[in-house]
Structure 1
Amino acid sequence: MSLIISMAAFALVASITPGPVNIVALSSGAQYGFRASQRHVVGATLGFVLLLVLMGLGLHELLERWPALTRVVQLAGVAFLLFMAWKLATDDGRLGTKDGGKAPTMFYGALMQWLNPKAWLACVAGMGAFVADGDARLVWQFAAVYLVICYLSVACWAYAGTYLRHYLNNAGGMRLFNRSMALLLALSAGYLLLP
């Protein structure tokens, strides 16, 4: 039982802390509401868990053989974060209207995880800590724990955004909020380029 508690604690710390996926969830919740943000939340959760399982089943060995792949993923992640920052910065700030755009999709949530270095580090560190011997049963057990924790963590960020929605009930306030979130995403992207 203590192994599951340790896995859950690791998953919680890695999932609830600020990062690009959570920033987008917060912004989506603020602009589109909790329900519309569920596509992003579910996509991010499933995308992460798939990455975790693949890492546990041997993807890390491929990256060790071809370290250039890691750099390609990092650069693609930076490009995607900058694209998401641009989308947030240029949003018109209208709250959940039909003309105000659409909430992030399930695909964007999953793609963000696959291009998010924080997610890759969490997968490598988690598998190294809990499944170093490659036991497939432990890989699936860790993935099941992470599925629940990751969903709840990203959903908390979307819910927090929904709460903020009450205070950002005009387009100008929402534009300012979105631009602040865009700046955070751009800074995250810039941080990834540092040696």
Structure 2
Amino acid sequence: MSLDALTLTLSIVPYIVVMSVTPGPNNLMLLSSGVRFGVQRSVPHMLGVSAGGALMILLAGLGLLEAFQRQPLLQQGVQWGGMVYLLWLAWQMTRASAPEECKVSDEGEWAHAQGADGAPSVQAVRPLGFWGAVAFQWVNPKMWMMALGLLSAYLPRGQGAAAVALVALVYGVTNLPCISVWAIGGQRLRHWLQNPARLQAFNWTMAAALLLSMAPVLLNQ
């Protein structure tokens, strides 16, 4: 690794660590996934977050950032679309079932909940997969802020594709262990959340936190 590459890497790692480990849509979803499915089944989700973020940084550095700078309405449209999706995710979090209510069948994971009339109802649930997590980064407001901020602040204008690829690679490698902490934390909470009152409080807290994670984007509008 050249001196310039090493300097760039050392300068961006602290930023990536702070942005990756602090609460945001990805981490809150991984915490919930750790509670419901455990760490092992959440690994594709984690890999998709890191790979999807790295891909976004790569494409933004190769031209997408300039497109947003020329067309601010395009960036705002993506951000607002992402926030609408996060509102839907927050609503889904308030309805999540307890881990012990899930069982595995040949067709996937199914959560058995009580319907409005008290009769059992079946709702299909499964961990977010690799490609789903990759796609989610494109509607994740915090990921857009992180990617654009990283490139604007740390990558001088005129840098070639190699420098952009290095930034994307460093992001992916650094991000993965940071976000895994949240899935591990969720798994540690599984037994404690078997209590219905605790589960309900947890679900609503996660939903509220997800909504609060949109505040930085709203303040920058």
TM-score (norm 1): 0.90
Contact 2:98–2:193 at 8 Å: present in 1 too? Answer: no
Cα-to-partner distance string for 1:21-48 (whole Å, 9 max, x where unaligned): 1111111101210011112211111111
Residue of structure 1 equivalent to 2:199: 174
Which stretch of structure 1 is more off in the superposition, 54-63 or 93-102? Answer: 93-102
Which stretch of structure 1 is more off in the superposition, 50-59 or 177-186? Answer: 177-186
Distance 1:130 1:31 in 2: 37
Measured after TM superposition, the shift of residue 179 of structure 1 is 2.0
> Which of residues 128, 152, 169 is equivalent to 1:104?
128
Distance 2:37 2:196 in 1: 12
Cα-to-partner distance string for 1:28-71 (whole Å, 9 max, x where unaligned): 10121001111221111111111000111110111112111111
Distance 1:84 1:106 in 2: 18
Residue of structure 1 equivalent to 2:117: none
Code of the aligned partner of 1:122: M
Percent of matched pairs sharing the same residue: 34
Higher helix share: 1
Unaligned runs of 5+ in 1: none
Measured after TM superposition, the shift of residue 192 of structure 1 is 3.8
Residue of structure 2 equivalent to 1:159: 184
Would you say how many aligned residue pairs link Structure 1 and Structure 2? 195
Measured after TM superposition, the shift of residue 111 of structure 1 is 3.0
Which stretch of structure 1 is more off in the superposition, 78-87 or 93-102? Answer: 93-102
Residue of structure 1 equivalent to 2:81: 76
Matched, 1:56 2:61: yes
Distance 1:9 1:2 in 2: 12
> Which of residues 38, 42, 45 is equivalent to 1:40?
45
Code of the aligned partner of 1:174: L
Contact 2:21–2:179 at 8 Å: present in 1 too? Answer: yes
Distance 2:100 2:80 in 1: 32
Contact 2:94–2:207 at 8 Å: present in 1 too? Answer: yes
Code of the aligned partner of 2:199: M
Distance 1:140 1:186 in 2: 32
Q: Secondary structure at the match of 2:189?
A: helix
Residue of structure 2 equivalent to 1:145: 170
Distance 1:171 1:56 in 2: 46
Residue of structure 2 equivalent to 1:65: 70
> Which of residues 118, 135, 138 is equivalent to 1:114?
138
Matched, 1:128 2:152: yes
Contact 1:94–1:171 at 8 Å: present in 2 too? Answer: no
Give the aligned CA root-mean-square deviation in angstroms: 1.9
Distance 1:190 1:2 in 2: 32
Contact 1:8–1:146 at 8 Å: present in 2 too? Answer: yes
Code of the aligned partner of 1:121: M
Distance 1:129 1:138 in 2: 14
Distance 1:160 1:168 in 2: 12
Higher strand share: 2
Code of the aligned partner of 1:43: G
